[in-house]
Structure 1
Amino acid sequence: MIEFILEGEFIPLIQLLKATDLVSSGGEAQMVVLDGMVKYNGVTDYRKRLKVRKGDIIEFNNQKIKVI
């Protein structure tokens, strides 16, 4: 599991995927979200501008990101 330390109130989902190196670009991040390949707290989520906050868990490509 990847632990991402959040500095601030939230991080947009697209930026989180890029910051953790699970995707190589913002365009790729948008595509995987729109294709339903990302789970937000256990539920598939299609929102590109989703605000991820402390305590949330993102799942993508057999990886989990815990935001702390």
Structure 2
Amino acid sequence: MPSITFTLAGEFIELNQLLKLAGACDSGGAGKALVAEGRVTVDGARETRKTAKIRAGQSVVCDDWRIRVVAG
């Protein structure tokens, strides 16, 4: 499973945008679809909110991608 460290520029990033910027999908819309299909977890719990606010210290898993979010 590829592991990516994503450096946060502000206080938070919306989940669908994080998936796009980390390279797990091609667009924010595709990120929303991944969440809607139940393929995304945040800190080990399935996340159903497409625009959930992801903050530093959280870990997101989508299919074969693991994204660790750190403060910038």
Which range, TM-score by smaller chain? over 0.9
Where do 5+ consecutive residues of structure 1 fail to align?
A: none
Task: For residue 35 of structure 1, report the CA deviation from its aligned partner.
Answer: 0.8
Where do 5+ consecutive residues of structure 2 fail to align?
A: none
Moved over 3 A (4+): none
Q: Provide the identity percentage.
A: 38
Residue among 46, 53, 56 paired with 1:44: 46
CA distance in 2, matches of 1:34, 1:14: 10
Instruction: State the Cα RMSD in Å.
Output: 0.7
CA distance in 1, matches of 2:12, 2:43: 15
Amino acid at match of 2:35: V
Q: Count residues in correspondence.
A: 68
Asked if 1:62 corresponds to 2:49, the answer is: no
Match of residue 19 from structure 1: 21
The C-alpha deviation readout for 1:25-58, integer Å capped at 9, x for no partner, is 1221111101100001001111011000000000
SS of aligned partner of 2:8 = coil
TM-score of the pair, normalised by structure 2: 0.90
CA distance in 2, matches of 1:59, 1:36: 11
